[in-house]
Chain A
Amino acid sequence: MSDLLEVRGVSKRFGGLHAVSDVSFNLHEGEILGLIGPNGAGKTTLFNIVNGVYKPDKGTITFAGKDITGLAPNEAVKMGLARTHQIVKPLNSLSVLDNVTVGACFGRESLGLHAARNTARQVLDRVGLGGRADSSARNLTLAGKKRLEVARALAAKPTLLLLDEVLAGLNPTEITQMIELVRKIRDDGVAVFMIEHVMQAIMKLSDRIVVLNFGKKLAEGSPMEVAGDPQVIEAYLGDENIAEKLMEKN
């Protein structure tokens, strides 16, 4: 498997705070890579560095063989790197359809308005928002808004999708649906890099997991390896039998 994303020695400081320090990892084509860690570990900051919202103080990001360090987010999307936000950012007074059309218009394929509308409709059907196309984005439920985030990112036709806590705040049914959706996305050939606190979900979904703690990479490996790692248990999971428990529930 070749590497779609290579993160090498990336660091970012905010004043005296080392939000991310010297983190390196690879993401393979077609895989789901999980990113976990306690609150404030630097997960979202790492996302922001990968898609260009922040420029790293040190280190490089290589995407599909090209150095994209410091590339603006709007340029990263054009190369096939789309993301969702932990705190949803719907374009409130636009319709759900228009929200997704924006994603298609300005995404990797830079579609014209008409073609973008068609793509948007398809994507909305796929994430289960087809029936809400004409309502205002502000009228969606939180689960709906999270789906909208995913739909907008998908409409950009990415090769790598960054999902920032798309399961947070959803009820168990909604979580099951979202997990199905993420699986489908991966099966269509889109690699997924996701931050998640819902351990059961991330253990089930991920091919591999990276663990961050205080901005540093604590561990990396298969879900079983990570959940069995004493350091990870101490820093984040808090229960040495968690690996078995989580896997039993599968």
Chain B
Amino acid sequence: MIFRRPMFWITLLLAAFFIYLPLRNNDAAMREDLILVAVAIILVSNLNLMIGYTGYVNFGHIVFYGLGGYVGLYLITGRGWHLLSAALAAGVVVSLCALLFGLGILRLRGAYFALATVGILVAVDAFVSNFDLWGRSTGMYLSFESYEPLGGAMHALWVTYYLIIGVMVLSMLLSLAIKRSKFGLGLFAIREDEDAAVVLGINTTVYKAIIYSLSAFLPAVAGALMFFKNGMIDPEIAFEYMLSIEGIVMLMLGGQGTVLGAALGAGLYERLRSYLLTSPKLSNFHLVIAGGLLLIVVLFASGGLIGWLYKFVPRSHKVIE
């Protein structure tokens, strides 16, 4: 059972910190810092399902987040839905979109698949930028009234923060549950050798479609919550190409294929990035750092930080997953 695994409790402990830290002094600035970390963890954990578990590099993972934001905001502003139902609907709709994309591109392997995911990112961006209903390149804005059902704007910020933390916990637990399941074993087999996996009896087409679609769900929910919190969305911030690539750096840094590695990489990188972005001298320098980090990890520590830990403390395998 998942409750018996130490990683389950580590995840809950992490969540407790996220809940407690900003609450202690009612610290809104810290909340804003942590929400970015939480979103990074959500994106990278779900990206890990594709890259770390299944061995399919997705450069366009941010599409799910952005589309989720668009669907969510549209349902709230255009259709008057409640935040919760809009966020869930965003998850479902974007997962179905992913299933559709997946049917098209999942027959490709390796570099060709990776290229196709870039294609999807560009195509979705172009579509949304020209879609009248979603405000084309100017995007959509929330009216202040949209925050009323959650008890006003101030209160709504805290509510969305805790919802995001919830999605973060779900992302990590989902990764953990899949890792310790028959489904996960099937994914690992695909990652190691897809031809062998077929001969061993795995319906790889179905498995890949499910995981691609599943990896879209929580990022889309997070997108809906996050852009609701921000009060606006436009194509440029919804589909941030650089963030999509930085997600891969975060995953490699922490350790692909591991639950804690994805979270750790996301957390560390996001803090570093925020620091560099806000420091006046080093603005935009974070991309240089990202490139450098990726090189170092790929060349010297392909297992990332957690891979390092496994190497030097082999017994940590049992606790850190």
Q: Mark B195-231, 1 if CB is under 8 A from A, else 0.
A: 1111111111000000000000000000000000000
With contacts A98-B185, A113-B182 taken as known, whether A91 is within 8 angstroms of B199 at the C-beta atoms is no
A138, closest chain B residue (CB): B192
Interface residues on A, range: 20 to 34
Report the bound CA distance from A156 to B203 in whole Å: 15
- Say whether A74 contacts B189, CB under 8 Å: no
Q: Does B143 contact A (CB under 8 A)?
A: no
Instruction: Type the 1/0 row for A90-103, where 1 means its CB is closer than 8 Å to any CB of B.
Output: 11111000100111
Selected from B192, B193, B200, the residue in CB contact (under 8 A) with A156 is: B200
B200: contacting residue among A92, A106, A113, CB under 8 A: A106
A116 at interface, CB cutoff 8 A: yes
How many Å lie between the Cα of A116 and that of B181 in the bound state? 12
Assess whether A74 is in contact with B196, with CB atoms less than 8 Å apart. no
User: Complex Cα distance A72/B198, Å?
Assistant: 8
- Contacts A92-B192, A94-B192: A74 and B203 contacting too (C-beta < 8 A)? yes
Interchain CA distance A90-B185 in the complex, whole Å? 14
Say whether B162 faces chain A, with CB atoms less than 8 Å apart.
Answer: no
Asked if A21 is at the interface (CB within 8 A of a chain B CB), the reply is no
User: Which residues of the other chain, A, contact B181 by a CB distance below 8 angstroms?
Assistant: 113
A73 close to B (CB within 8 Å): yes
Tell me the bound Cα distance from A110 to B180 in angstroms. Answer: 17
Contact A105 B185, beta carbon cutoff 8 Å: yes
For B193, the chain A residues whose CB sits under 8 A away are 89-92
- The complex places the Cα of A100 from the Cα of B26 at a distance, in Å, of 53
Q: In the assembled complex, which residues on chain B have CB atoms less than 8 Å from the CB atom of A94?
A: 188-189, 192
Q: Are B182 and A103 in contact (CB under 8 A)?
A: no
Chain B positions within 8 Å of A98 at CB level: 185, 188
The yes or no answer to A112 lying at the interface (CB within 8 A) is yes
Q: Are A107 and B201 in contact (CB under 8 A)?
A: yes
Residue of B nearest to A103 (CB): B200
- Map CB proximity to B onto A163-177 as digits: 1 under 8 Å, 0 otherwise: 000000000000000
Nearest A residue to B180, CB-CB: A113
Check: B186 CB closer than 8 A to any chain A CB: yes
What is the CA–CA distance of A53 and B197 in the complex, to the nearest angstrom? 12
Pairwise interchain contact A78-B201, C-beta atoms closer than 8 A: yes
CB contact under 8 A between A91 and B189, given known A105-B182, A113-B181, A113-B182: yes
Contact B192 A85 (CB under 8 A): no
Write the chain B residue with the least CB distance to A108.
Answer: B201
Please give me the residue from chain A that is nearest to B189 by CB atom. Answer: A102
Whether B196 pairs with A156 at a CB distance below 8 angstroms is no
Q: Does residue A232 face the partner (Cβ distance < 8 Å to B)?
A: no
Residue-wise, chain A 33-58 has the 8 Å CB interface mask toward B (1 for contact) of 00000000000000000010100000
Residue pair A102, B199 in contact (C-beta under 8 Å): no
Smallest CB–CB gap between B302 and chain A, Å? 11
Q: Which of A72-88 contact B (CB under 8 A)?
A: 72-74, 77-78, 83, 85
Q: A102 near B198 (CB under 8 angstroms)? A: no
A111-122 CB contact bits vs B (8 Å, 1 = yes)?
011001000000
Residues A74 and B202 in contact, CB atoms below 8 Å apart = yes
Quick one: closest B residue to A152, CB to CB? B200
Q: Which residues of chain B come closer than 8 Å to A110, judged between CB atoms? A: 201
Please name all residues of chain A whose beta carbon is closer than 8 Å to the beta carbon of B188 when the two chains form the complex: 91, 94, 98
- Knowing A102-B185, A105-B185, A116-B182, the reply to whether A89 touches B196 (Cβ < 8 A) is yes
Question: Are A93 and B201 touching (Cβ within 8 A)?
Answer: no
Partner of A83, one of B186, B199, B202: B199
Contact call B201/A106, Cβ cutoff below 8 A:
yes
Of residues B182, B192, B195, B199, which shows the largest number of chain A Cβ atoms within 10 Å of its Cβ?
B199
Find out whether the CB atom of B185 lies under 8 angstroms from the CB atom of A156.
no
Bound together, the chains give a CA A101 to CA B188 distance in angstroms of: 12
Flag if B192 contacts A91 (CB, 8 Å): yes
What residue of chain A has the Cβ atom nearest to residue B181's Cβ? A113
- Residues of chain A with a CB closer than 8 A to B196's CB: 85, 89-91
CB distance from B41 to the nearest CB of A (A): 24
Within 8 A of A (CB), among B154-180: 180
Asked if B204 contacts A74 (CB within 8 A), the reply is yes
**Within the assembled complex, what's the spacing in Å between the Cα atoms of A133 and B198?**
23
B195 engages A89 (CB within 8 Å): yes
A93 and B192 form a contact (CB under 8 A): yes
Q: Which residues of B contact A103 (CB under 8 A)?
A: 200-201
Contact call B182/A74, Cβ cutoff below 8 A: no
Contacts of B204 in A (CB 8 A): 74
- Chain B residues whose C-beta falls within 8 Å of the C-beta of A72 in the assembled complex: 198, 203
A85 and B199 contact, CB distance less than 8 A: yes
A residues touching B (Cβ–Cβ < 8 Å)? 51, 53, 72-74, 77-78, 83, 85, 89-94, 98, 101-103, 105-107, 110, 112-113, 116, 152, 156
25 example contacts (A-B, Cβ-Cβ < 8 A) are as follows A51-B199, A77-B199, A78-B201, A85-B196, A90-B196, A91-B188, A91-B192, A92-B192, A94-B188, A94-B192, A101-B185, A102-B185, A102-B186, A102-B189, A103-B201, A105-B182, A105-B185, A105-B186, A106-B200, A113-B180, A113-B181, A113-B182, A113-B185, A156-B200, A156-B201
B positions within 8 Å CB-CB of A: 180-182, 185-186, 188-189, 192-193, 195-204
Given contacts A103-B201, A116-B182, 7 further A-B contacts (CB under 8 A): A73-B198, A73-B199, A77-B200, A78-B201, A89-B199, A107-B201, A110-B201
